[in-house]
Structure 1
Amino acid sequence: MLSFDSIGVIVVFVIFSIEFGLAILHKSEDYVLKDMKSNLMIGVLLILAGFLEKGFAFGVFAFAYNYAFFKPEISWGVWVACFLCCDFIHYIYHWLGHKTAFFWASHVTHHSSKVFNLTVGFRINCLHLFYRFLFWVPLCFIGFPPEMILFFESLTAVLNFMVHTEKVGKLGVLDWIFNTPSNHRVHHATNPQYIDKNYGGVLMLYDHLFGTYVKETEKPIYGITNEVNLSNPIRILLHEYINLLKQFLSKNGIVNKIQYLFSLPN
């Protein structure tokens, strides 16, 4: 039987193939096609690393779950609570990805594209997978089963892929509640009023609570403020890690080095 992850990968690749085929058919500009090809190669690495990471993460989650403070009986209430907690952890991790040099070194890969289409959902640095899951470990200690946490993580990943599109306009009240394409276009934009907004995974709940929600009011300009023109997938993945290492080594003393890693990105 196919797992949820396997079904998600198949759906994502089918949608990607359709979009890439349409881009060729409509004779999209060369830089768009190059960007899509790079995104595909980065996406393949992401999926391969993801399958490895899921097994490792499950092992760590299962170990932590053995030491849970309590293990509530599985019910709809527990499912809802786990979903809200997973979405909160996603928000915090995503926020850190924009607010600290260390986490931005990985997350910049996703934001460095100047276009916005479904293939950008593939443009995620696989390196962060091997430490990202640690943010969800505390949920195991409070009694949420590993399978439940991984299910919501997989669901969020598939939904987050789907919001990378300009083909879907504003959705009214749904934009206020969920992470929709309109909300995510804002998140990827470099327009001054849009920078560091709309971190939500599935819901916009925590963006409303913490004041990071902004509606799409003008056409987004995509990319990053410190513009980089890269088409080589390896350079797209590693360029900011290289800059991070150079800056880290230039700092005097361990305290300054650690402070730099958790300072605002340049």
Structure 2
Amino acid sequence: SNAKFFKVKFKKGEGWVSKDFLEKVAPAVVNPQNNTNQPTQSAQNTSTTASGTEDMYRVTTDNLRVREKADPKSKVIGYLPESENVAVIDSTNTSYFKIKVTNGEGYVSKEFLARVSAVKKVAAPTVAPSVPKMSQDNSKIIFLVVVAVLLITILFFIFKYAKGNKIFISVVTLIVLVTGYFCYITFLKEKTISGQFATTEDVQYQSFDFKSKDLVTVNDIYTGSSFSSKYVIEGDMIKLYDQQNTILLLIRDDNTLIGEGFTRGVFTKK
């Protein structure tokens, strides 16, 4: 009804504006049925956009506080240096943006962020725990072959040139057989281990339960859980993996294992 001003409605309330700067457009037709489904479709589109892209922002101040929640009184969980680039994963809050940093997520004031660009999210690769592999070492086999040829040669000459001395032949033959057996169990025979080995020391891994020739169950007191892992024996050393960590155990004897590295400790068989 006013000749110069129109009353308008906007997000925060109502007010008056000069009609000289307004242009009439056709009113939007609202379809009730489509309007009912619109929030769902919009939410789906928002979800797709959120999962498909992230907005990159640059920090414009030094020591920008990263808070646990979108609240100025929330706990500060970290700081960001000036010119640091961060990925904004939620910008719906009017004062705080949810960001993703190297060690997690948090909220920062949007006043100290300047948009750089939108980047495409790349799905994180699935890292499968590695299974230790036994390295192929042929030096022991070659050594045993050489020893076997040498012992056979000795026996050949003993039987050929000492036919009359049966006692000497018997003693030498026994020595040759014992030497051959000792070389076999030392260099060629595959070592096996079984049973549960535990320690009373204050270390992360409290026990190792060897259930089969290549599977062990480890008790981790730091996480309060147990996990199973494949293992291999190379010489006197047992190797197994906990995700990206390599656990090394030295076989002292049938009843004692010595932990190496961060697994340091003495584990005795129960």
What TM bracket, shorter-length normalisation?
Answer: under 0.3
Greater RCO (CA < 8 Å, at least 6 residues apart):
1
In terms of Rg, which structure is larger?
2
**TM-score, normalization by structure 2:** 0.18
TM-score for the superposition, normalised by structure 1: 0.18
Instruction: Give the structure with the higher percent helix.
Output: 1
